[in-house]
Amino acid sequence: QFHIFVGDLSSEIETQQLREAFTPFGEISDCRVVRDPQTLKSKGYGFVSFVKKSEAESAIAAMNGQWLGSRSIRTNWATRKPPASKENIKPLTFDEVYIQSSPSNCTVYVGGVNSALTALSEDVLQKTFTPYGSIQEIRVFKDKGYAFVRFSTKEAATHAIVGVHNTEI
């Protein structure tokens, strides 16, 4: 996937409008407007991910400076922030995690896994996440260094995120 940062979004722009604006450039694998977890107001930026690099490059070139809603947007490659040092990480709260996804979302993303290590397995994930609730499915993408764990309830998934976030498994 090739991730584009879209900045200077006007507050009325929703994820669907962002997706529609970038759809002409190619297949979009992910798209979202970033929101404040407490107020749910747009933070004024978002991300659009394309399957093909050439399509992402075309979108960046064509959309930078274009008007979307009531503002001219900025586009560029999305870059990852360097990981915060362990001392500066504030623990997550159940409520802030719970409101960040739809009521039907019961899936936990497990990322930041070194794919060179073979420790990422269904068994390890089962042992790590079973204490948080009933697991429906575990999908491991060893070569990519991540996995998904689907719980039977959103509450269980939320407890798992709060409990396991920023830990080593």
Taking residues 3-28, report their average pLDDT: 96
In degrees and rounded to multiples of 5, residue 88 shows phi and psi of -90, 0
pLDDT tens for each residue of 39-55: 889 999 999 999 999 99
The CATH fold of domain 86-164: Alpha-Beta Plaits (3.30.70)
Euclidean distance between CA atoms 77 and 47, whole angstroms: 9
Establish whether domains 2-77 and 86-164 are of one fold: yes
Domain ranges of the chain: 2-77, 86-164
Euclidean distance between CA atoms 18 and 47, whole angstroms: 9
The CATH number that domain 2-77 falls under is: 3.30.70.330
Taking residues 90-107, report their average pLDDT: 85
pLDDT tens for each residue of 111-147: 876 555 556 788 888 988 998 999 999 988 877 778 8
pLDDT tens for each residue of 18-32: 999 999 999 999 999
